[in-house]
Structure 1
Amino acid sequence: MLDSFAKCRTIAAAEARADCFDATARELEAAVKSKEVTILDRQDIRSARKSLFGFTLPRIGLFGGGDRDEGRGGGRDAEAEEIKELNTTIASARVVANGRVELRLAEGGAVWVTTDPMPFPPKPGDKVRIRSGSLGNYFIAVAGQRSVRGMRLR
């Protein structure tokens, strides 16, 4: 779709160039309406990446997780925008086997479970900080307590 716009720019005659842009714009508008093409801005991408925090996704470049984004957005490296930490509140918590705790987050409804036991289960409304560690580990700290390891369920 973008190649069509680029081809229009190479047309020297002003009227023919305008006709080309009009036709290409109509095609783009139809593709967006039929949901064949989706247009996202940086904020949409950040929100999507934040909602996927804790999942291991393939590196396909869908949400900036691919190679360097040359020529778009100043050539910023996708790794520079990687989300390393999530700060939110707890919507609900319940104790599961062996002192572990299942947490449902207020933001996005994500469900996490601690893989280490927690001495005191958190309450709804408590602040939670989830940060990524090395080797795919995640650390969950609730209301300033000591961090425990955890993983995202859904």
Structure 2
Amino acid sequence: MADPASSKTLDVLAECQEVAADSARLACFDAAARQIASARKSGSLLALDRATVVASKQQRFGLADAAKNPLGGGEADQLTRVTEVKTTITGVTPSTYARFLIQLANNTVWETIEPLTLPPRPGTAVIIKQSGFGGFKASIAGERPVLVKRRR
């Protein structure tokens, strides 16, 4: 039985496997392929690969609307959920009160919320994880985790 949330267009393809005669099965697959190509061309069928979805979620990680479920909040969203980003620091700019703006290799900018005694160094590994109450913590190369917020 097909998943009720699945695309009926793709279900036709799966049904072709049940056709016994070779020529009829080939005709079924050809018709299904034309239907899928037509649906993609018209925009009524969207096909996304998991790697593209995860990369997009990683790029939006930490932004205010990043928690929205682009895939409807079902199993697909759970399977592509991003709760941390591992990258390196590419630049550091002093902010206010011993805080810093940290540019990362993934083209995002984060600001430390907690003051730091020394500025982080470019080239240093960083892991940013979700913390309690919707916040984020950055672990910078073995230092204690510090609260951060995404700037852009």
- Which of 109, 112, 130 is matched with 1:111 structurally? 109
Q: How far 1:82 sits from its partner (Å)? A: 3.3
Q: Hey, what's the Cα distance between the residues in 2 that align with 1:132 and 1:116?
A: 16
Instruction: Give per-residue Cα distances to partners, 1:66-123, cap 9 Å, x unaligned.
Output: 2235xxxxxxx927x63333222101111112322111111x2111111222221112
Runs of at least 4 residues off by over 4 Å: 6-14
Number of residue-to-residue matches in the alignment: 141
Match of 2:151 in 1: 153
Structure 1 vs Structure 2 CA RMSD:
2.9
Gaps of at least 5 residues in structure 1 are 70-76
TM-score in terms of structure 2 length: 0.72
- Offset of residue 127 of structure 1: 1.5
CA distance in 2, matches of 1:47, 1:58: 15
Match of 1:4 among 4, 12, 21: 12
> Aligned runs of 1:5-154 on 2, under 5 Å?
5-6=13-14, 8=16, 14-32=22-40, 34=41, 36=43, 37-55=45-63, 56-61=66-71, 66-68=73-75, 78=78, 82-106=81-105, 108-154=106-152
Identity %: 33
Within 2, Cα distance between the matches of 1:19 and 1:113? 59
In 2, Cα distance between the equivalents of 1:143 and 1:39? 38
Question: Which one is further off, 130-139 or 109-118?
Answer: 109-118
Q: Residue 103 of structure 2: SS of its match in structure 1?
A: strand
Contact 2:54 2:81 in 1 (8 A): no
Structure 2 residues without counterparts, runs of 5 or longer: 1-8
- 1:46 CA displacement: 3.0
CA distance 1:99–1:35, shift in 2 (3 Å): farther
